[in-house]
């Protein structure tokens, strides 16, 4: 180490697997409708209620009026059976008169005699339209950016048991909540999606009891479909109502959809605002039929449209359609076996160091990077295996690293040797390190890592990172103490063939078929079919999301957990734990850069590893950190990138 290098001390952050110390007690409780309740339900309900609202442009954005349409499914298409307008109960008389004057000359899109085009106050709309559609018809509520419209018709909201928005839709005259009517729960996920559920109808301890049989299927078949979310799941693109309906640049170019008006909201009730809202609902229903046509192309999957939240949801359903069991269910791996893989997991990252400057650039890209890596690493064999074994392969790994070169990485056979994790004592090797680089936030960077001379402490590194270390420093082989390899054995029974988007056949029972390779090849083969070509690209790059899906669970009081990382384990507690997504059991998963797709129920928190020293030459020196205790249990970042 040169004399001009300044040494700084940095903590290292390592991923950890956290297992609840106490098993959850099974107890009966009221639940919202979920995927388990929808088994046997048709993908598309017979009736839907589509609506859109207009609001003030002030801070409160309170309801002014809205337009609704009831539609019925006939020969695969939703046709309108009723149209109407509703308005806020406290709408000023002047604006109410504008609505009444409009209704005197307006013509409903429903042909009937005598003509029927109702105008209701919000309270009457809920009583005569909204609740009967849900209770009697089991209608699905449809909208574009539906969460916003539901909050406009809500009278009040409270925080739910799990931090969601709990919308109160009915009150008594004295202002108290009318519990005869269920609440609607909205759990925001991000800007493109939210989980919207209806709380089960309550029939106990009510001022006026409502028999449960008044609700069709006891209220279990009530669903909410936000077309913005469905479009995101189908096309992996964020759309506005205008862009989604655009007949030249939108996703449905072959269809002639009604176009959204060019309009700047005023927050007032005017004939122009009313026509604009009616047109929005026309667009919403037309867009629903277009999305239905596209969704029905995926005929071999058992996914309901209201459960499609992203492209990963589609990928998950196709793997389920193939009969491939989730790793958490199929592979029973001890937590201590998974801990080294968890510690070795580093999400990829890229960065831009020169911004807002005109400089020469060379565009670079990878062809199907995620599926190509999965195919070369042989991950589909692991997915379809009956069981897995962790085999000590230290001698072969050392020999492999001693002969690895950059040119050999272009040989496909080389990649099958990278699915291992090794316990390494760093000695100036260039390895990925997660630490605080700017004094504020955590990040990942490749650094020269050295051991502490007094207490050299090993760390688990995945095969691809070790191969990269050798390539960056030819002749320097990392000091490996032990290496483990994943070996799939047998073939999982019960798998079956499916057709992707109704066209591309995948049979997991055929040993010559690799899902990832097949998707890449079929994508190139179907360039003349732009819809299939683009969808295969989405599917290929989203399959890994099936395994890394994490759902955070928040608690008022910290929960006891046992933390596993590398060879260490210790008790701790946290207010937040993360479990795998729907359809999985809360069991441990495989996780590593090689098998990052298997990361499902890792407890993403700051696991403070050995303290590190970093120099101006980005040289990190380890010191022993005897007691690995964490005070701050927030989640470290998990970044994905093109590199």
Residue 506, phi then psi, degrees to nearest 5? -125, 120
- Specify which of 315-324, 392-401, 509-518 reaches the highest per-range mean pLDDT: 392-401
pLDDT at residue 629 above 70? no
25: confidence class by pLDDT, cuts 50, 70, 90: low
Instruction: Return d(Cα 362, Cα 64) in angstroms, integer.
Output: 52
pLDDT reported for residue 463: 93
What contacts 24+ positions apart, CB below 8 Å, involve 425-428?
A: 425/451, 425/456, 425/457, 425/458, 425/479, 425/481, 426/450, 426/451, 426/459, 426/478, 426/479, 426/622, 427/451, 427/478, 427/479, 428/473, 428/476, 428/619
In this predicted model, which residue has the larger pLDDT, 537 or 597?
537
pLDDT reported for residue 33: 46
pLDDT reported for residue 545: 59
Q: 188-231, pLDDT tens digit by residue?
A: 988 889 999 988 665 454 445 454 446 666 656 789 999 999 99
pLDDT reported for residue 255: 81
- For residue 123, give Cα distances in angstroms to 61, 63, 131, 274: 18, 12, 11, 19
Q: At what angle do helices 530-542 and 369-377 cross, to 10 degrees?
A: 60
Instruction: Return d(Cα 104, Cα 32) in angstroms, integer.
Output: 42
Question: How much is the mean pLDDT over the chain?
Answer: 81
Strands 429-436 and 479-489: unpaired
552: confidence class by pLDDT, cuts 50, 70, 90: low
Strands 504-506 and 498-500: antiparallel
Mean per-residue pLDDT, 12-41:
63
- For residue 216, give Cα distances in angstroms to 50, 99, 131, 392: 19, 34, 11, 58
pLDDT at residue 288 above 90? yes
pLDDT at residue 103 above 90? yes
Mean per-residue pLDDT, 80-96:
96
pTM for the model stands at 0.77
Domain ranges of the chain: 44-297
Instruction: Return d(Cα 39, Cα 101) in angstroms, integer.
Output: 48
Q: 353-375, pLDDT tens digit by residue?
A: 788 899 988 888 777 888 888 88
Strands 387-392 and 479-489: antiparallel
In this predicted model, which residue has the larger pLDDT, 164 or 641?
164
Strands 420-425 and 479-489: antiparallel
Does 3.30.420 match the CATH number of domain 44-297?
yes
> Which tokens go with 12?
């290292």
pLDDT reported for residue 603: 29
Q: Residue 287, Cα to own-chain centre: how many angstroms?
A: 23
- Quote the percentage of the chain above a pLDDT of 90: 45
Cβ(611)–Cβ(11) below 8 Å: yes
Cβ(580)–Cβ(549) below 8 Å: yes
pLDDT reported for residue 26: 52
3-state helix, strand, coil in the chain (%, to 5): 30, 25, 45
pLDDT reported for residue 537: 87
pLDDT at residue 431 above 50? yes
pLDDT at residue 598 above 60? no
493: confidence class by pLDDT, cuts 50, 70, 90: very high
Residue 3, phi then psi, degrees to nearest 5? -70, -25
3-state secondary structure 512-551: CCCHHHHHHHHHHHCCCCHHHHHHHHHHHHHCCHHHHCEE
Please list the residues that pair with 504 across neighbouring strands: 500
Cβ(520)–Cβ(368) below 8 Å: yes
**Three-state SS for 153?**
helix
Look at 25-39, 170-184, 290-304, 458-472 and tell me which has the smallest mean pLDDT. 25-39
pLDDT at residue 606 above 60? no
Instruction: Return d(Cα 14, Cα 10) in angstroms, integer.
Output: 13
pLDDT at residue 462 above 80? yes
Mean per-residue pLDDT, 470-475:
91
3-state secondary structure 253-319: CCCCCCCCCCCCCCCCCCHHHHHHHHHHHHHHHHHHHHHHHHHCCCCCCCCCHHHCCCHHHHHHHHH
pLDDT reported for residue 213: 45
Q: 561-572, pLDDT tens digit by residue?
A: 888 889 989 898
Instruction: Return d(Cα 369, Cα 540) in angstroms, integer.
Output: 9
Cis peptide before 114 (omega within 30 of 0): yes
pLDDT reported for residue 196: 95
């Amino acid at each position: 180490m040169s004399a001009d290098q300044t040494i700084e001390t940095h903590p290292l952050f390592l991923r950890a697997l956290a297992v609840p110390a106490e098993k959850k007690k099974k107890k009966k409780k009221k639940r919202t409708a979920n995927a388990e309740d929808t088994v046997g339900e048709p993908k598309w309900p017979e009736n839907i209620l589509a609506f859109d609202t207009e609001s003030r442009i002030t801070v409160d954005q309170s309801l002014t009026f809205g337009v609704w349409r009831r539609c019925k499914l006939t020969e695969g298409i939703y046709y309108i059976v009723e149209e109407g307008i509703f308005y806020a109960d406290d709408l000023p008389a002047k604006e109410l008169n504008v609505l009444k004057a409009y209704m005197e000359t307006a013509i409903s899109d429903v042909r009937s005699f005598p003509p029927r085009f109702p105008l209701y106050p919000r309270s009457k709309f809920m009583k005569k339209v909204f609740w009967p559609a849900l209770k009697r018809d089991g209608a699905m509520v449809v909208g574009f950016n539906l969460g916003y419209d539901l909050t406009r018709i809500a009278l009040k909201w409270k925080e739910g048991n799990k931090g969601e928005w709990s919308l109160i839709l009915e009150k008594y005259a004295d202002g108290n909540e009318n519990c005869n009517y269920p609440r609607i729960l909205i759990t925001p996920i991000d800007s493109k999606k939210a989980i919207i559920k209806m709380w089960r109808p309550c029939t106990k301890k009510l001022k006026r009891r409502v028999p449960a049989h008044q609700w069709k299927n006891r209220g279990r078949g009530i669903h909410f479909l936000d077309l913005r979310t469905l479009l995101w799941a189908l096309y992996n693109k964020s759309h506005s109502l205008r862009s989604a309906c655009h007949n030249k640049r939108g996703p449905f170019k072959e269809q002639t959809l009604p176009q959204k008006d060019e309009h700047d909201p005023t927050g007032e009730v005017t004939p122009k605002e009313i026509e604009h809202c009616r047109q929005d609902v026309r667009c919403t229903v037309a867009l629903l039929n277009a999305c239905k046509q596209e969704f029905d192309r995926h005929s071999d999957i058992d996914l309901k449209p209201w459960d499609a939240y992203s492209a990963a949801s589609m990928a998950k359903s196709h793997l389920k359609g193939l009969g491939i069991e989730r790793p958490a269910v199929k592979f029973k791996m001890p937590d201590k076996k998974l801990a080294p893989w968890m510690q070795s997991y580093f999400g990829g990252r890229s960065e831009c160091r020169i911004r807002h400057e005109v400089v020469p650039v060379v565009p670079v890209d990878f062809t199907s990077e995620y599926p190509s890596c999965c195919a070369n690493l042989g991950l589909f064999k692991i997915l379809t295996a009956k069981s897995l074994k962790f085999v000590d392969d230290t001698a072969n790994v050392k020999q492999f690293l001693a002969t690895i070169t950059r040119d050999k990485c272009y040989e496909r056979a080389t990649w099958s040797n990278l699915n291992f994790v090794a316990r390494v004592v760093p000695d100036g090797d260039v390895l990925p390190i997660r630490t605080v680089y700017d004094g504020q936030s955590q990040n990942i960077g490749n650094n020269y890592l050295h051991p502490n001379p007094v207490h050299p402490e090993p760390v688990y590194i995945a095969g691809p990172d070790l191969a990269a270390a050798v390539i960056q420093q030819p002749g320097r082989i990392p000091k490996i103490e032990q290496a483990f390899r994943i070996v799939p054995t047998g073939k999982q029974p019960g798998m079956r063939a499916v057709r992707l988007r109704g066209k591309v056949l995948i049979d997991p029972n055929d040993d010559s078929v690799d899902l990832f390779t097949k998707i890449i090849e079929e994508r190139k083969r179907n360039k003349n079919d732009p819809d299939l070509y683009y969808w295969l690209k989405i599917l290929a790059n989203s399959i890994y999301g099936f395994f890394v899906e994490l759902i955070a669970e928040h608690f008022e009081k910290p929960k006891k957990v046992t933390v596993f990382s590398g060879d260490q384990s210790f008790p701790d507690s946290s207010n937040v734990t993360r479990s795998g997504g729907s359809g999985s059991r809360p069991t441990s998963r495989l996780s590593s850069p090689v098998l990052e797709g298997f990361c499902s129920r890792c407890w993403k928190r700051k696991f403070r590893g050995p303290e590190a020293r970093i120099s101006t030459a980005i040289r990190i020196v380890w010191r022993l950190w005897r007691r690995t205790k964490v005070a701050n249990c927030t989640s470290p970042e998990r970044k994905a990138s093109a590199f």
